[in-house]
Amino acid sequence: MTILPKLLYLFRTLPLPLPKSYLEEIQSYFLTYVWRKGRPRVPAKLLYLPRCNGGMAMPNVTLYYNATILASLGEFFLQSSTPRWTSVEQTCVGTHLIASLVWLTSKQRPELPGILPSTALYLKTWDKHRSRLLTNPFLSLATPMEVLRYWIEGFPCSRWMARGVTHLWHLVLGDSLAAFLTLSGRYGLPDTFLFSYHQLHSLWKTTNLPTMLVSSKVTLTAFESFVLHPEVSTRLVSLCYAALNAPTPNYKWNFQKAWEKEMGQELTTQRWQGAYVADKGAYNCTSLREVRRKVMYRWYLVPAREKHISGASSTCWRCLSEVGTMLHVWWACDKLQS
């Protein structure tokens, strides 16, 4: 897919809203290349998924476009080697920091009259997709401490940051807000921090973060980890694309349901992933890999299916005794086993 870097270059150098129809047109070229003029036999959404999730890693142009915008926004979190264009955008939002504004909801954000169209596009795309990038879209533990000034009037953000508490993540112990004594021991906080700690505690209780923490076992997404430890070498477009292109949890495709029905057992997501990964590295030969993937997708017509289409016999063509289901024809047939 040598076309992909060319597209990404275009998306990154034109930080303007592209019409949906333009992205759909490019995507249609990909799909036409795969299916020619035939009817698609595998859902496009399945083809877009990574190979380790059962897909074929076909580029999703719209998701790549959104990933490039989010990657540009991610560059505002870099502490060093920040691209020069970020400072140009930053000057147009006054005293606010773009890296702080993203953590506010669109209603909480102050009015930004001089904002550049590109910055507005970043924030709009972020608001739409933040739930894919964060563990808890309402209050992320990767939120920088300076954002608290929008939520708690007069909160001494800089004093906390000077002590090494730069993100909400640094306040967590186990699945809850750490006690003041713990934080005091960890960061050398004097008693003068006690009042602002109580302010934090009060904010903590008003959010649904405590329950979210218990259910999510205090994990950070790849994007949140990047915000905590921003590295210039991080491949942000890939990171954001992977987050946007992640499969829906516990969703089962028709081919999975059909295999499970024939085998008479349900397979967990982990077992399916094991099958995909084993399939991925099984052969170097492309045509053999293609056959394996087609079997997994139940691409081929077997007697049991042909019966419904043409009225032909549903009996297995090898043993001439059993019903030729997909499982039988490819695995369980006595002739194969012997």
- The binding track of 169-198 with respect to Zn ion, each residue x by CB under 5 A or -, is ------------------------------
- For residue 200, state whether it binds Zn ion (rule: CB under 5 A): no
Nearest approach in angstroms of CB 290 to Zn ion is 24
By CB under 5 A, how many residues form the interface with Zn ion? 5
Name which of 25 and 334 has its Cβ closer to Zn ion.
334
Name which of 145 and 302 has its Cβ closer to Zn ion.
302
What are the φ and ψ backbone dihedral angles of 19, each rounded to 5 degrees?
-65, 145
Q: Which two tokens stand for residue 66?
A: 């959104």
User: Which of 189-217 are b and which e, b meaning 16 or more Cβ less than 10 Å from the residue's Cβ?
Assistant: beeebeebbebbeebbeeeebeebbeeee
- The binding track of 303-332 with respect to Zn ion, each residue x by CB under 5 A or -, is -------------x-xx--x----------
Distance from C-alpha of 68 to C-alpha of 233, rounded to nearest angstrom: 16
What are the φ and ψ backbone dihedral angles of 273, each rounded to 5 degrees?
-65, -40
Nearest approach in angstroms of CB 324 to Zn ion is 6
Close Cβ partners of 143 (under 8 Å, ≥ 6 residues apart): 103, 167, 168
Q: Are strands 176-177 and 172-173 parallel, antiparallel or unpaired?
A: antiparallel
Name which of 158 and 321 has its Cβ closer to Zn ion.
321
Name which of 151 and 330 has its Cβ closer to Zn ion.
330
Nearest approach in angstroms of CB 326 to Zn ion is 12
Q: Which two tokens stand for residue 104?
A: 């506010």
The residue from 23, 70, 237, 333 that contacts Zn ion (CB under 5 A) is: 333
Nearest approach in angstroms of CB 62 to Zn ion is 45
| Cβ-based neighbour number of residue 77 at 10 Å | 21
Nearest approach in angstroms of CB 322 to Zn ion is 5
Residues near Zn ion (CB under 5 A):
316, 318-319, 322, 333
